[in-house]
């Protein structure tokens, strides 16, 4: 297929626009151009040496976007150039996060600018573009290169300013990224995410020391981070074999000092289980605080945590079951005590009576009075009523 040429003026035919001709000729060589830019950039600094698995893919996408952007601007002119592609800014942030120096980033851009210029000159000669036109287009490309470098430098600087300044902050940022589902290099955590995990959340003076003592007693590897400046800690107990939550609960109750609250998730495996166990522990911690329980396992309050996150359900349970009881004796105190004893006795009248120190007839009378307050029989509402009472606690 013949390459387009710029027609010479004076023949009566309108001359082809040089920028459009050159842009098309470069697009015809796009695979070759991208490959050449990639080779030049990789020679400056091998991206395979960056441990972040997302880095190489991000750099490839950025190189392709940078070449496409230059061709797009070549077609429309520098004054009509669109905004710098977000993928280039995102890669600059990734460079900063992964410790790639700004000098290295800028050397890559200078190399890419130079290489695109070489291709442009080569195609201009083949298309017989007048030298005056070529100088104008090269000037536009130089201005565009300055704009890219300025934007990328500013983005890299902003991200560098926000980078963790020490190992503790870096570990916390890595954990946050992993919990958010991001692909990051986690080798520096010193914690095997491929094994078995039990997550905990702890709050209070001495929580960090408690977690370290717990890991030591149970013989588990510990990953622990503090939530910014809060007195709240997230941690995981890891190992090649699963850890029974009951064993961890028993050890925690033995070790936990006064004023520290700890909540446990359920055992999880690999990265997905690591995340899920943390979510469970995080959901259970507020309930432990409200109840005043030093140690609480998610499995014991799973339904309550779900209800507490559903405003409609929680409000409805209170209106349907708790508020009507307040119209009973002593503001509902007798009704609530009776119902709690009834549920504790697995809904056995005789056992309930024994626990309350009354006779069976008294228990039956109280239950009938409760049904009148609720306006419904207990039989079809026992599960919801029990949850409402646990909310009330």
Q: Do 153 and 22 belong together in one domain? A: yes
pLDDT of amino acid 229: 56
Residue 208 lies in a domain: yes
Question: What CA–CA distance (Å, rounded) separates 71 from 141?
Answer: 10
Domain range for residue 315?
Answer: 310-392
**Count of other CB atoms within 10 angstroms of residue 82:** 9
pLDDT of amino acid 175: 87
Tens digit of pLDDT at every position of the chain (393 positions):
445 555 544 433 333 488 889 999 999 999 999 999 999 988 898 887 776 667 888 899 999 999 999 999 998 887 888 889 999 999 998 888 777 889 999 999 999 999 999 999 999 999 999 988 999 999 888 888 899 999 999 999 988 777 655 667 778 888 888 888 877 777 778 899 999 999 999 998 889 999 999 999 999 999 999 866 567 899 999 999 999 999 999 999 999 888 899 999 999 999 999 999 999 999 899 888 888 889 999 988 887 777 766 678 778 878 887 888 888 888 888 888 888 888 888 888 888 888 889 898 998 988 888 888 888 888 877 888 877 777 776
Q: Do 316 and 274 belong together in one domain? A: no
Residue 106 lies in a domain: yes
Q: Do 156 and 46 belong together in one domain? A: yes
Taking the model in full, what pTM does it have? 0.50
Question: What CA–CA distance (Å, rounded) separates 287 from 282?
Answer: 10
pLDDT of amino acid 376: 82
pLDDT of amino acid 69: 92
Choose the final residue of a domain: 273, 300, 327.
Answer: 300
Question: What CA–CA distance (Å, rounded) separates 22 from 29?
Answer: 11
Helix locations, 222-301, DSSP H? 245-255, 270-291
pLDDT of amino acid 13: 34
């Amino acid at each position: 297929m013949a390459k387009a040429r710029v027609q010479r003026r004076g023949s009566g035919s309108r001359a082809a626009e040089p920028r459009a001709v050159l842009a098309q000729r470069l697009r015809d060589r796009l695979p070759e151009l991208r490959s050449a830019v990639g080779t030049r950039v990789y020679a400056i600094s091998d991206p395979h040496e960056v441990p972040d698995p997302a880095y190489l893919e991000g750099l490839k996408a950025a190189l392709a976007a940078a070449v496409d952007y230059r061709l797009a601007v070549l077609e429309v002119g520098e004054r009509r150039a669109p905004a710098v592609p977000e993928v280039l800014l995102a890669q600059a942030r990734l460079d900063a996060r992964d410790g790639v120096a700004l000098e290295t980033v800028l050397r890559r851009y200078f190399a890419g600018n130079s290489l695109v210029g070489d291709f442009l000159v080569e195609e201009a000669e083949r298309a017989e573009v007048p030298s005056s036109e070529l100088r104008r287009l090269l000037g536009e490309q130089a201005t565009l290169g300055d704009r890219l470098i300025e934007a990328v430098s500013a983005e890299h600087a902003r991200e560098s300013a926000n980078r963790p300044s020490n190992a503790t902050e870096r570990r916390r940022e890595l954990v946050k990224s992993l919990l958010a589902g991001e692909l990051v290099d986690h080798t520096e955590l010193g914690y095997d995410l491929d094994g078995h995990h039990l997550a905990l959340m702890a709050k209070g003076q001495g929580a960090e020391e408690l977690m370290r003592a717990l890991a030591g007693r149970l013989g588990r590897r510990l990953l622990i981070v503090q939530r910014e400046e809060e007195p709240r800690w997230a941690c995981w107990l890891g190992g090649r074999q699963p850890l029974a939550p009951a064993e961890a609960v028993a050890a925690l109750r033995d070790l936990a000092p006064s004023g520290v609250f700890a909540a446990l998730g359920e055992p999880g495996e690999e990265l997905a289980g690591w995340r899920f166990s943390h979510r469970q522990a995080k959901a259970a911690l507020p309930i432990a605080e409200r109840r005043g329980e030093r140690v609480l396992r998610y499995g014991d309050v799973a339904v309550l945590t779900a209800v507490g996150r559903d405003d409609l359900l929680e409000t409805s349970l209170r209106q349907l079951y708790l508020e009507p009881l307040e119209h009973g004796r002593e503001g509902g105190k007798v009704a609530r005590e009776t119902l709690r004893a009834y549920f504790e006795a697995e809904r056995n009248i005789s056992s309930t009576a024994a626990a309350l120190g009354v006779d069976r007839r008294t228990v039956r009378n109280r239950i009938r009075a409760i049904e009148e307050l609720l306006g419904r029989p207990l039989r079809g509402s026992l599960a919801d009523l029990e949850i409402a009472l646990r909310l009330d606690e």
